[in-house]
Amino acid sequence: MTPREASQASLEFGGPLGVTVMLVLLPATMFHLLLVVRSGPARLLGPPTYLPGLEELWSPQALLLLFIWLGLQVALYLLPARKVAEGLELKDKSRLRYPINGFQALVLTALLVGLGVSAGLPLGALSEMLLPLAFATTLTSFIFSLLLYVKALAAPVSALAPGGNSGNSIYDFFLGRELNPRLGSFDFKYFCELRPGLIGWVFINLALLIQEAELRGSPSLAMWLVNAFQLLYVGDALWYEESVLTTMDIIHDGFGFMLAFGDLAWVPFTYSLQAQFLLYHPQPLGLPMALLICLIKVIGYYIFRGANSQKNTFRKNPSDPSVAGLETIPTATGRQLLVSGWWGMVRHPNYLGDLIMALAWSLPCGVSHLLPYFYVLYFTALLVHREARDEQQCLRKYGHAWQEYCKRVPYRIIPYVY
């Protein structure tokens, strides 16, 4: 089988038809959420109360703001890093190098925004610009993905992603042909995965908090919780930035529309849905309920961080004292699979923790509406699908040892349920 035949034999996401639907459905869903969240009924499944005209969507100021933001994040990415990490070995046996300075970028952005706000920058007004900003970001992601696709046409075969090289242009545009598109040492996929969208999400949340304080005198307890929980999540991702180098997005998926739009537009504009909801639909939250929600968040984070750190430590140094006593299964690749500790409980304990945290982000919005629970629903679907993709890759990589692991640890994400 040629590489192209092999790639076509295992098309993901429903093949060309599936990705065509997603190309339309993903931006449409994002705009639907942005519109319904500000409407009175705020119904997830109902139609928006009005459809905006082009004059409400298109704003040169929003585009300028987006470019200033992207420029700032590029500049922070290029600053000297505390560490430069090596990625996994590529097909041509080389390894790429990545700066580890994401947390530094978050702190420096916070300092700059703080200075701006104290000099009179109206950050709260950002909440009024979300629709045109989302429009500008969607257009930019689309054009950016086209450029990536064209760039990939000239890339050597060894630089192509295993899945985005089917020969069907829509499919390859969506999934991404090239695995690690770069300009010099600037890595587009790594940059986009952790910087503009993820950090942007935190500042959109903050703008919504400031706007709520301006409207109602002070931010609500619910708004504080959502801001704090999601800041912890983003801070954690940037603090442990190096571990993103072993995710399937970096080692397996190409960089196309799915990740470009997902990273730049989907994350900041849909992941901030709870804070948007609270601005337009204030929710009373008593202290006992707030404490219970904090407990749920702490449990989720404990599982999420414990599982991720255990695997990362084990992969880096299996004889580290914190993991040396864990039971393992040897594989033909020379690597081992953990079969006790967090990874002996279910096959994806980190997803379980992440889902519990997702619930804790939505609960401050009360139970009167389904809309703030969109993230929980979407994220469950994303993780179930991601888990299935990861299983296939592990089965290919580890064969019999993976089957043995599945026998020993029969549940995927939720013990005794799934």
Ligand X SMILES: NC(=O)C1=CN([C@@H]2O[C@H](COP(=O)(O)OP(=O)(O)OC[C@H]3O[C@@H](n4cnc5c(N)ncnc54)[C@H](OP(=O)(O)O)[C@@H]3O)[C@@H](O)[C@H]2O)C=CC1
Ligand Y SMILES: CC(C)CCC[C@@H](C)[C@H]1CC=C2C3=C(CC[C@@]21C)[C@@]1(C)CC[C@H](O)C[C@@H]1CC3
Interface with ligand X (CB under 6 A)? 246-248, 304, 308, 311, 315, 335, 337-338, 343, 348, 350-351, 354, 386, 390, 393-394, 405
Closest CA to 402 of 416, 392, 413: 392
Which residue, 211 or 230, is less far from ligand X as judged by CB?
Answer: 230
Q: Which does 77 bind (CB under 5 to 8 A by kind): ligand Y, ligand X, none?
A: none
Query: Which range touches ligand Y (CB under 6 A), out of 117-125, 193-201, 209-217, 332-340?
Result: 193-201
> Is 390 an interacting residue with respect to ligand Y (CB under 6 A)?
no
> Is 231 an interacting residue with respect to ligand Y (CB under 6 A)?
no
> Is 249 an interacting residue with respect to ligand Y (CB under 6 A)?
yes
CA terminus-to-terminus distance, the chain: 36
Among 32, 263, 300, 376, indicate the residue that binds ligand Y (CB under 6 A): 263
Closest CA to 74 of 168, 159, 173, 184: 184
Residues 230, 271 contacting (CB under 8 angstroms)? yes
Among 134, 258, 293, 352, indicate the residue that binds ligand Y (CB under 6 A): 258
Spatial neighbors of 174 by CB under 8 A, at least 6 apart, are 13, 19, 22, 23, 256, 257, 258
Among 262, 300, 353, 364, indicate the residue that binds ligand Y (CB under 6 A): 262
User: In whole angstroms, how close is the CB of 350 to ligand X at the nearest point?
Assistant: 4
97 three-class SS: strand
Tokens, residue 319? 């004889």
Query: Which range touches ligand Y (CB under 6 A), out of 4-12, 85-93, 97-105, 241-249?
Result: 241-249
> Is 355 an interacting residue with respect to ligand Y (CB under 6 A)?
no
Among 267, 293, 356, 371, indicate the residue that binds ligand Y (CB under 6 A): 267
Residue 81 has a CB neighbour count (10 Å cut-off) of 17
Phi and psi torsions of 4, nearest 5°: -70, -40
User: In whole angstroms, how close is the CB of 83 to ligand X at the nearest point?
Assistant: 20
Closest CA to 267 of 329, 194, 215: 194
User: Tokens 């013990």 map to which residue?
Assistant: 415
Q: Which does 262 bind (CB under 5 to 8 A by kind): ligand X, ligand Y, none?
A: ligand Y
Q: Which does 193 bind (CB under 5 to 8 A by kind): ligand X, ligand Y, none?
A: ligand Y
Residues 177, 256 contacting (CB under 8 angstroms)? yes
Q: In the bound complex, which residue of the shown chain has the CB atom lying closest to ligand X?
A: 247
Please name the residue ranges forming H helices in 119-247. Answer: 130-153, 169-175, 188-194, 196-216, 221-239
176 three-class SS: coil
Q: Find the length of the chain.
A: 418
Q: Which does 305 bind (CB under 5 to 8 A by kind): ligand X, ligand Y, none?
A: none
Q: In the bound complex, which residue of the shown chain has the CB atom lying closest to ligand Y?
A: 262
> Is 264 an interacting residue with respect to ligand Y (CB under 6 A)?
no
Q: Which does 266 bind (CB under 5 to 8 A by kind): ligand Y, ligand X, none?
A: ligand Y
> Is 193 an interacting residue with respect to ligand Y (CB under 6 A)?
yes
Q: Which does 178 bind (CB under 5 to 8 A by kind): ligand Y, ligand X, none?
A: none
Spatial separation of the C-alpha atoms in residues 264 and 285, rounded to whole Å: 32
Which residue, 180 or 308, is less far from ligand X as judged by CB?
Answer: 308
Spatial neighbors of 196 by CB under 8 A, at least 6 apart, are 69, 70, 73, 263, 264
Query: What's the DSSP call for residue 160?
Result: B
> Is 266 an interacting residue with respect to ligand Y (CB under 6 A)?
yes
Report the site for ligand Y in 16-45 (rule: CB under 6 A).
26
Closest CA to 175 of 202, 148, 196: 148
The binding site for ligand Y (CB under 6 A) comprises: 26, 193-194, 198, 236-237, 244, 247, 249, 258, 262-263, 266-267
